[in-house]
Structure 1
Amino acid sequence: MAGMRVAVFASGFGSNFGALADAAKQQRLEGASLELLVCDKPEAPVVERAREAGVDVFTFRPREYSSRETYETEILAELRRREVDLIVLAGYMRIITPLLVEPFYGRMINVHPSLLPAFPGVNGIRQALEYGVKVTGVTVHYVDGGLDSGPIIAQRAVEIADDDTEETLAPRIHAAEQELLPWVVSRIAAGAVQLDGRRVVVK
């Protein structure tokens, strides 16, 4: 999709946002542009990252709203005003309701630190270590309103060493995320990703 307009949702440090911003600056996103950062924590480091990258920011404090739908109504209006084509969830730590999922189904993706469907939800890295698997990784998938249950676009495997801990494994997982997520966004922007039911074909 030439000139695809992207909104990134994030809550924390923003390493995946940074990877996307770097890819955009280096013209590796097939013409996609980062139009907006949506963040539920105005003090989060990702907010400053966005400002340094010249990306507009929409912040809010969930506790100041009566419900998720209330603040999502404001977010949806902002996304529509900016004619956003794709939402990228990159470390956004809030549940998203159908109010946002339904109008953006097939145009909202998430990056998750495991090889889904294994280890969905929080602490995917810890879950993999505790289970004792030898290989884990990262997944980029469409968001369907379930818990990390949407159609899978792409995955990258990361081997687990016998002496790995969360502290040693996490940097390799995050590095894989920062490679895979911009690549997926570039493929979507190029019109090379086709969604058919649960099957996704990337050309």
Structure 2
Amino acid sequence: MLKVVVLISGTGSNLRALLDGLDEARASDAPIAAEIVAIGADTERANLALGDERGIPTFVVAPGAYPDRAAWGDALLAKVREFGPDLTILSGFMRLVPPRVVDALAPELLNTHPAYLPEFPGAHAVRDALEAGANETGATIMIVDNGVDTGPIIDQRRIAITPDDTEATLHERIKVVERQLLLDTVRHLAAGTLNLKEIAS
């Protein structure tokens, strides 16, 4: 069983989709041998009720409780390691994790991004694609490294931009694809048909 820790900062909509996808697979004839063993956050405002609803342990490691970013990262890493995950997913986690965390968890540290990397990296990828007048963008799932959206790409898909798209409408369509990429990646990792070390090498 693939043990997964998910880190969130907000509503956890992609996490909810992953939980629902795992539940649906479990009820089908093609279950995914993966389990979310903990949900962590960097703020009490994150939607940790997603874990409470399902009996999944939750935790918060708030940066303000530590003297600097490195100390916060060390505390976050220690908390993640308590659950012994095979995989850690940043799902709408709005902070760059310190290098010591990346070095300790990667390549089994994943993130999604609402663009077809290396196009439109950074925090405003959807807005940037629209402002650039692009006619397509995409969604990407990748291994986290110490850059900003520069890690090895696991999978990505193109998404057309329509003339009437707003940032909100485009982002909603991208999220659908991000969620599918995430579920498919977890499925392949659980089945042993995807090797993150090979992708990272």
Cα deviation, residue 55, structure 1: 1.5
The answer as to whether partners of 1:8 and 1:38 remain within 8 angstroms in 2 is yes
Q: Tell me the secondary structure at the aligned position of residue 103 of structure 1.
A: helix
Q: Tell me the secondary structure at the aligned position of residue 145 of structure 1.
A: coil
Aligned twin of 2:15: 17
The answer as to whether partners of 1:24 and 1:34 remain within 8 angstroms in 2 is no
Residues 29, 127 of structure 1: alpha-carbon distance in 2 compared, 3 angstrom cutoff: farther
Distance 2:176 2:79 in 1: 31
How do residues 41-120 of structure 1 correspond to structure 2 at under 5 angstroms? 41-44=43-46, 46-120=47-121
Residues 109, 5 of structure 1: alpha-carbon distance in 2 compared, 3 angstrom cutoff: same
Distance 1:104 1:97 in 2: 11
Distance 2:190 2:55 in 1: 20
Cα deviation, residue 197, structure 1: 5.6
Percent of matched pairs sharing the same residue: 37
Distance 2:71 2:52 in 1: 26
Compute the RMSD of aligned alpha carbons. 1.6
Aligned twin of 2:42: 40
What are the Cα deviations for residues 67-103 of structure 1, in whole angstroms up to 9, with x where unaligned?
Answer: 1221222222222222111011111000111211111
Task: Verify: 1:196 aligned to 2:198, yes or no.
Answer: yes
TM-score by length of 1: 0.90
Aligned twin of 2:143: 142
* More helix as a share of residues: 2
For this pair of structures, how many residues does the alignment match?
196
Residue among 2, 7, 19 paired with 2:5: 7
Residues 29, 23 of structure 1: alpha-carbon distance in 2 compared, 3 angstrom cutoff: farther
TM-score by length of 2: 0.91
State the AA in 2 paired with 1:11.
S
Unaligned runs of at least 5 residues, structure 1? none
Cα deviation, residue 54, structure 1: 2.0
Residues 183, 77 of structure 1: alpha-carbon distance in 2 compared, 3 angstrom cutoff: same
State the AA in 1 paired with 2:11.
F
What are the Cα deviations for residues 16-43 of structure 1, in whole angstroms up to 9, with x where unaligned?
Answer: 1101111222226621110111101112
State the AA in 2 paired with 1:52.
E
Q: Tell me the secondary structure at the aligned position of residue 12 of structure 1.
A: coil
Distance 2:183 2:31 in 1: 7
Unaligned runs of at least 5 residues, structure 2? none
